[in-house]
Amino acid sequence: MNEISSNFLREHNARQVWHPMAHPVEMETTPPRIIVSGEGVSIVDLDGKRVVDAVGGLWNVNLGYSNEPIKQAIARQLAELPYYSAFRGTTNPRLIELGARLVDILKVENMRRAMFTSGGSDSVESALRIARQYWKVRGKADKTKFLALKKGYHGTHFGGASVNGNQNFRRAYEPLLPGVYHAPSPFLYRNPFDETNPERLSDLCVAALEDEIKFQGADTIAAFIAEPVLGAGGVIVPPAGFMKKVRALLDRHDILMIADEVITGFGRTGEWFGARLDGFAPDVMCIAKAITSGYFPLGACMVNEKIESAFMNSDDTLAAIFHGYTYSGHPVGCAAAIACLDETFARDLPGNSAREGSFMLDAFGKLAARHDTIGDVRGKGLMLAIEFVADRAAKTPAGKKYMGALADAAYEAGALVRVSANVMIMSPPLVLERKDSQQIVDAVTHAVSAVRLDPAQ
């Protein structure tokens, strides 16, 4: 990068652009880091500083930044056919191939059809729409409401924001969709029942969900949506068996189950899909992010045999899918995804995620034993979180200044981590080697010891 262009970049950084998920004034006063290149699991900023990317792009760059097979697949596809529409009447070879691959990989969950999208929010939107349409096709037009978990994250379209369980993503955009209701999430560290036993908490949350179902009337509810492990809400790992109990409850009340696997898909949790952690089969699965390792924006909404047959057995025009995007089944994205699947299998990324994840979780657990500012450490595979507190007994969340200082100190020490309120979140590439995991652990350990600010700040 030459001097003139570096100066231009610094001068214009966050000046003509509003960045997602940030206050525009804050972005001007504390401009974002300019990441100019990536190699393996590391990124390099405009000053030439190289760090391990413990954020993994945004939970998505599972194969790191140097995966040649994906890059070549993209280049080949660009040369052959850079775009063609999949709207009624045309399709493309990569779309057909990827559809077949996904249905095969998701045989375990009985998924039968893929509807391609451009990303996670699109996949959630597609899932919510298909759920409503399914019930109309089945002659139960009253079933339109949605249930979701508090602290869940489902993207930023109006549908996704409506099922979102975090006020930050809702308040400024209200009113959202009517007919959406939230139940407590099975979060051991903080829950409205003050329950610390996982089994009991699980049962209490299932009971609260059932209470809401009965109150609304199951005959008015289309679907329940949840992440198998809640990501943006602070890496909340439900107690073992929770999702299976929810599945049984929904079955009893004839309500569809949508698993938002946008983060948990493709090995992030140590299993190929989050649903496999608990061995439950949803009706709909939303996937995106790591489907292309972030190299191209792509997603899909997968539906199971039950939904497939309802549409296939209907000759009503209501069963035509008047939904889709210009970039549904983009050939370049599909080519990237096929290469990505091959690489994920060949390198057993879910296995590596489980191994490196438990190494780091263990290391952070030991760190927590030495520092009172750590209130909780949690994670599954390479979805990890450390929750910082100003007062351990009262669980008072640590302040913004303290959290920012921690992130800066970790960066200086060699790892980019993500801070969301008082939670430090890590989701590094799944191709991480032990030396890289160690570098992240060392950087975080250094940060926790080096930052001397009052954690309440």
Q: Are 415 and 41 in contact (CB under 8 A)?
A: no
Nearest to 54 by CA among 351, 363, 343: 363
Residue 397 CA to residue 173 CA, distance in Å, equals 26
Residue 348 CA to residue 365 CA, distance in Å, equals 26
- Which residue from 42, 67, 77, 121 is in contact with ligand PMP, where contact means CB under 6 A? 121
Examine residue 288 and tell whether it contacts ligand PMP (CB under 6 A).
yes
> Nearest distance from residue 249's CB to ligand PMP, in Å?
21
Nearest to 259 by CA among 246, 268, 270, 240: 246
Examine residue 119 and tell whether it contacts ligand PMP (CB under 6 A).
yes
Sheet holding 42-45, edge to edge: 35-39, 42-45, 50-53, 415-416
Alpha-carbon torsion 202, 206, 209, 211, what sign? negative
Part in contact with ligand PMP (CB under 6 A); list of ranges 97-105, 213-221, 257-265, 346-354: 257-265
Q: Whats the size of the chain, residue-wise?
A: 457
- 32 vs 217, beta carbon nearer ligand PMP: 32
Per-position b or e across 261-282, b if 16+ CB within 10 A of its CB: bbbbbbbbbbbbbbbbbbebbb
Q: Are 321 and 115 in contact (CB under 8 A)?
A: yes
Examine residue 260 and tell whether it contacts ligand PMP (CB under 6 A).
yes
Q: What is the largest CA-CA distance in the chain?
A: 68
Examine residue 109 and tell whether it contacts ligand PMP (CB under 6 A).
no
Residue 126 CA to residue 258 CA, distance in Å, equals 11
Site string (222-241) toward ligand PMP, x via CB under 6 A: -----x---xx---------
Using CB under 6 A, count the residues that bind ligand PMP.
Answer: 14
- Which residue from 128, 201, 262, 349 is in contact with ligand PMP, where contact means CB under 6 A? 262
> Nearest distance from residue 102's CB to ligand PMP, in Å?
17
Examine residue 274 and tell whether it contacts ligand PMP (CB under 6 A).
no
Examine residue 381 and tell whether it contacts ligand PMP (CB under 6 A).
no
Examine residue 161 and tell whether it contacts ligand PMP (CB under 6 A).
no
Residue 445 CA to residue 440 CA, distance in Å, equals 8
| Nearest residue to ligand PMP, by Cβ distance, number only | 120
- Which residue from 145, 151, 154, 268 is in contact with ligand PMP, where contact means CB under 6 A? 154
- Which residue from 56, 64, 155, 414 is in contact with ligand PMP, where contact means CB under 6 A? 155
Instruction: Report the Cα–Cα distance between both ends of the chain, in Å, rounded.
Output: 37
> Nearest distance from residue 69's CB to ligand PMP, in Å?
23
The owner of tokens 């303290």 is 402
- 151 vs 245, beta carbon nearer ligand PMP: 151
Q: Which of residues 174-233 bind ligand PMP (CB under 6 A)?
A: 227, 231-232
Examine residue 125 and tell whether it contacts ligand PMP (CB under 6 A).
no
Alpha-carbon torsion 429, 30, 364, 393, what sign? negative
- 232 vs 340, beta carbon nearer ligand PMP: 232
Binding site for ligand PMP (CB under 6 A): 119-121, 124, 153-155, 227, 231-232, 260, 262-263, 288
